[in-house]
Amino acid sequence: MSKLSLPHPAPEESAPFYHGYISEVPGEEIGTYLTEQLQDLERLMAPLGDTAARARYAEGKWSVKEVLGHITDAERIFAYRLMRVARSDATPLPGFDEKAYVPAGGFDARPLPSLVGEFRAVRLSTIALMDGLPPDGWGRKGQASGAPISARALAYIIVGHPAHHVRVLRERYRLTSAPDAVATA
């Protein structure tokens, strides 16, 4: 388990759009949250078959598989931004349109275990990236989606974004975790 702990980012370290995701993070133990979140997501998906994972809580909303695919896509993008900012790359980074990414991802056509496995691979890569950053990398700042962003804020966004979507999966899709489907990171 990662031991990474980071102080909470200041509001000016990210665009206001991201403040909701950052506020989802309960403390500073980023490494612990990254590992626990992976295990929680795997437990949440474990009881579902492919048909149940294509369910939507309302017309026009993403399926469970699409939510999982979106979480994975976003983590890849946020981790890439984190690497670029932490490595002192001052090149402004573009935004991305999740409303275009999700249909193009074809997530409903893939087996759920494949999507869960992909999230696991991306999350383990994110953990390795974060664990390997030198301490001075966390304070570095860059620009993404036309706004300032710090490496530290990106770490919080990487934890807060899936926390938001897992809460939605529990509340609106009514998903519950399988108690015995614990994975190890």
pLDDT digits (tens, 9 = 90+) for 54-74: 999 999 999 999 999 999 999
**Structural contact between residues 79 and 161, judged by C-beta atoms closer than 8 angstroms:** no
Cα 5 from Cα 168, distance rounded (Å): 26
The CATH number that applies at residue 66 is 1.20.120.450
Cα 120 from Cα 107, distance rounded (Å): 16
Q: Answer yes or no: is 35 within a domain.
A: yes
The one-character DSSP state at 92 is P
Q: Answer yes or no: is 66 within a domain.
A: yes
**Structural contact between residues 139 and 87, judged by C-beta atoms closer than 8 angstroms:** no
Q: Answer yes or no: is 161 within a domain.
A: yes
Residue type at 133 in one-letter notation: L
pLDDT in tens, 112-129: 999 999 999 999 999 999
Give me the pLDDT at residue 67, please: 98
Q: Answer yes or no: is 182 within a domain.
A: no
Cα 101 from Cα 81, distance rounded (Å): 17
Mean pLDDT of 87-92: 96
Range of the domain at 86: 11-171
Domain count, the chain: 1
